Amino acid sequence: MANLIQTNETQHSGTRPEMATNAQRFALALQRHGVKYIFGQSNPQTIMLACMDLGIRQIGFRQENAGSYMAQAYAMCSGEVPVVAAQNGPAATLLVPGLAECLKASHPVVALVDDVPTNMDDKNGFQDIDHIQLFSGVAKWVKRIVSEERIEDYIDMAFTAAASGRPGPAVLLCPKNIAYDTDLYPVRTQRKANISYYPLDRATADAARIEEAAQWLANAERPMLYVGGGAISSGALSEVRLLQEQCAIPVATTTMGKGSVDENHPLSIGPIGYYMGTRGATKFLKPMVQEADVILLVGNRTNQNGTDSWTLLPENAKYIHIDIDPMEVGRNYEALRLVGDAKLTLAALKKALGKQDLAKRFSNRASIEDTIAKARIAHLNEAQDVMTSNDSPIKIERFLAELDQKLSDDHIIVADASLSSVWLANYIKATGKRKFLFPRGIAGLGWGLPMAMGAKIAKPVQKVFCLTGDGGFAHVWSELETCKREGINVVVAVINNEILAYQKLAEQARWGRNTNACDLTPVDHVAVAEACGVKGIRVDSPDQIAAALDEAFAAEGSVIIDLIADPHNVPPIPFMGILENV
């Protein structure tokens, strides 16, 4: 079994030849951009062979969906632009969901996709479809290489498109007549730069508006920061934390912004949005959010879930909005426009605040901290019953209360969509250097396991934990074989509730009944894991949780925890509250 760390260390590095085949030129360009891994399945063939020759390691996924989710998580954990590759036609279509997620979540990825030879265009060549049309709704940039002379130019354009401005997916189509050509051509040695990191370019927002924003924040009665995933992508954690601590402003986060501040900090509100119902971590801080008079949004799309369908944030507050994408600024809340990189703009704002009289901020600090401290205790009291429940099947809050104790200070914590995202956001604290990955771009099922794998490849020394539902996990079981084959070691807890709970609970809450598709038949996930050579541990009563977690986190390979879970566990989503006592 290959070891990820060793492969990193044995990366080839040599001088670049002046003449090479086109496939070698692709591989050399990728090597110049520091690409260490390609998520692929052997296509485009010549390019993958040439990459292999250069020591670029292919992570051979079982399904293209999963490969693209691995790539996204790799980007989120490494700060680099990942590369995913696929054959033309059916394989290419399977990249669509992953690219859609990256587009909406603003994560960069370069997709290298085979295309039919140019002289076969429009002849019904094998597996030919119009890839430009296919990808146009899910990528920032889709181009086909028109002539072999421009290979290096187009590779660099693809990385530029993915990593610049608002990061996102770029698709480069590689016609087989160009990629399979075995003649030698000049390598464009003029191009020397590595541009496979993001943000590629940083620019600060308008200085005059930053001064104005500083005045608003200094003079506000009850200011608040509401931080989204854009702050994390920008690497603005220390800037957000300095503003919080040194200017005494409370900070709330979106689900994707979780981890931007330490949730044990006395001025951290925690994650807010559509899950502030009964037993929600931030339920008791809803008044603080709704009474804010100046709200600084950072890298925040003000989307439906983050705003509880645009009902959570106060209508009459003044908004300041920092975002790299001018279209996000003022999208749903008219705002003082700070279009720029979050890290640089927050640093400039902090400096501008230093020139303001912050007496109001400091005099309010004790009372804000007191409100937050009391709200945390009130939450623990409200959730006490489920967090300490000895019931079987297991209450997920009980599992997470124990998990929180076992996770390390720098664990990477991954959620699948559905309730796994809601549970982790509410019940696992972002403390220390913990990093959270949520697929909230389009909230699709099946991202959990592959994202955990991509995270582990990016950060082989860190431990990776993933929580997924049994419905979502079934989308990607096959990647357990990839874990085994590629030596990717992650711990996945599967909420085995034998239902599509989010779907079922939503139907029950709204219509009082549900369709037959919501109820699954029992699945033995230990057997699924073991069929792929991966360890499985069944946990069907709360007293087994601690030992199972200890065993899983100490194990050498990947581990699946099959958590026999209560199908009646109601999440803190207000409209589902009516199911509490059903």
Ligand X SMILES: Cc1ncc(C[n+]2csc(CCOP(=O)(O)OP(=O)(O)O)c2C)c(N)n1
Where do we find the tokens 């009964």?
Answer: 278
Return the SS3 of 336. strand
The 464-469 sheet, strands edge to edge? 435-437, 412-415, 464-469, 491-496, 559-564, 535-539
Instruction: State the minimum distance, in angstroms, from the CB of residue 517 to ligand X.
Output: 8
Measured from the CB atom, is 22 or 389 closer to ligand X?
389
Where do we find the tokens 């590759």?
Answer: 85
Binding-site size for ligand X (CB under 6 A) equals: 19
Return the SS3 of 279. coil
Measured from the CB atom, is 366 or 517 closer to ligand X?
517
Instruction: State the minimum distance, in angstroms, from the CB of residue 407 to Mg ion.
Output: 22
Instruction: State the minimum distance, in angstroms, from the CB of residue 423 to Mg ion.
Output: 12
Instruction: State the minimum distance, in angstroms, from the CB of residue 562 to Mg ion.
Output: 12
Pairing of strands 109-115, 57-60: unpaired
Instruction: State the minimum distance, in angstroms, from the CB of residue 96 to ligand X.
Output: 12
Closest residue to Mg ion: CB criterion: 469
CA atoms of 184 and 111, how far apart (whole Å): 25
Which listed range, 308-316, 380-388, 428-436, 497-505, lies at the site for ligand X (CB under 6 A)? 497-505
Measured from the CB atom, is 150 or 568 closer to ligand X?
568
CA atoms of 40 and 259, how far apart (whole Å): 30
Among positions 299, 441, 446, 469, the unique one binding Mg ion when judged by CB under 5 A = 469
- Which secondary structure element, helix H or strand E, spans residue 540, and what is its range? none
The three-state DSSP-derived secondary structure of 78-102 is HCECCEEEECCCHHHHCCHHHHHHH
Backbone angles phi, psi at 399, to 5 degrees: -60, -45
Which listed range, 138-146, 333-341, 344-352, 413-421, lies at the site for ligand X (CB under 6 A)? 413-421
497 binds Mg ion (CB under 5 A): yes
Which listed range, 33-41, 205-213, 360-368, 495-503, lies at the site for ligand X (CB under 6 A)? 495-503
Which listed range, 180-188, 262-270, 289-297, 498-506, lies at the site for ligand X (CB under 6 A)? 498-506
Closest residue to ligand X: CB criterion: 469
Partner residues linked to 99 by β-bridges: none
Instruction: State the minimum distance, in angstroms, from the CB of residue 500 to ligand X.
Output: 4
59 binds ligand X (CB under 6 A): no
Among positions 28, 500, 539, 549, the unique one binding ligand X when judged by CB under 6 A = 500
Selection from Mg ion, ligand X, none that 467 binds (CB < 5 to 8 A by kind) is: none
The answer to whether 581 and 556 are in contact (CB under 8 A) is no
Number of H helices, E strands in the chain: 23, 20
499 binds ligand X (CB under 6 A): yes
The answer to whether 470 and 498 are in contact (CB under 8 A) is yes
Q: CA-CA distances (angstroms) from residue 264 to 270, 371, 431, 526?
A: 9, 14, 6, 35
Q: How many CB atoms lie within 10 A of CB 511?
A: 9
- Which secondary structure element, helix H or strand E, spans residue 566, and what is its range? none
Which listed range, 21-29, 136-144, 465-473, 545-553, lies at the site for Mg ion (CB under 5 A)? 465-473
Instruction: State the minimum distance, in angstroms, from the CB of residue 468 to Mg ion.
Output: 9
569 binds Mg ion (CB under 5 A): no
421 binds Mg ion (CB under 5 A): no
Instruction: State the minimum distance, in angstroms, from the CB of residue 569 to ligand X.
Output: 8
Instruction: State the minimum distance, in angstroms, from the CB of residue 415 to ligand X.
Output: 10
Return the SS3 of 395. coil
Among positions 35, 322, 419, 491, the unique one binding ligand X when judged by CB under 6 A = 419
Instruction: State the minimum distance, in angstroms, from the CB of residue 505 to ligand X.
Output: 8
Instruction: State the minimum distance, in angstroms, from the CB of residue 449 to Mg ion.
Output: 14
Selection from Mg ion, ligand X, none that 472 binds (CB < 5 to 8 A by kind) is: ligand X
CA atoms of 519 and 540, how far apart (whole Å): 19
Q: How many CB atoms lie within 10 A of CB 249?
A: 25
469 binds ligand X (CB under 6 A): yes
CA atoms of 277 and 507, how far apart (whole Å): 18
Which listed range, 194-202, 274-282, 470-478, 551-559, lies at the site for ligand X (CB under 6 A)? 470-478
Among positions 115, 323, 328, 470, the unique one binding Mg ion when judged by CB under 5 A = 470
How does DSSP assign 214-278, residue by residue? HHHHHH-SSEEEEE-HHHHHTT-HHHHHHHHHHTT--EEE-STTTTSS-TTSTTEEEE-SS--ST
Instruction: State the minimum distance, in angstroms, from the CB of residue 161 to ligand X.
Output: 26
Question: Cβ contacts of residue 351 below 8 Å, gap of 6+?
Answer: none
Which listed range, 65-73, 209-217, 239-247, 439-447, lies at the site for ligand X (CB under 6 A)? 439-447
273 binds ligand X (CB under 6 A): no
Which listed range, 4-12, 15-23, 498-506, 542-550, lies at the site for Mg ion (CB under 5 A)? 498-506
Which listed range, 367-375, 394-402, 492-500, 546-554, lies at the site for Mg ion (CB under 5 A)? 492-500
For the segment 321-360, give every residue that binds Mg ion (CB under 5 A): none
Backbone angles phi, psi at 563, to 5 degrees: -95, 110
CA atoms of 131 and 144, how far apart (whole Å): 9
Q: How many CB atoms lie within 10 A of CB 489?
A: 21
Pairing of strands 83-86, 109-115: parallel
470 binds ligand X (CB under 6 A): yes
Selection from ligand X, Mg ion, none that 352 binds (CB < 5 to 8 A by kind) is: none
CA atoms of 490 and 463, how far apart (whole Å): 7
Residues that bind Mg ion (CB under 5 A): 469-471, 497, 501
Residues that bind ligand X (CB under 6 A): 417-420, 443-446, 469-472, 495, 497, 499-503
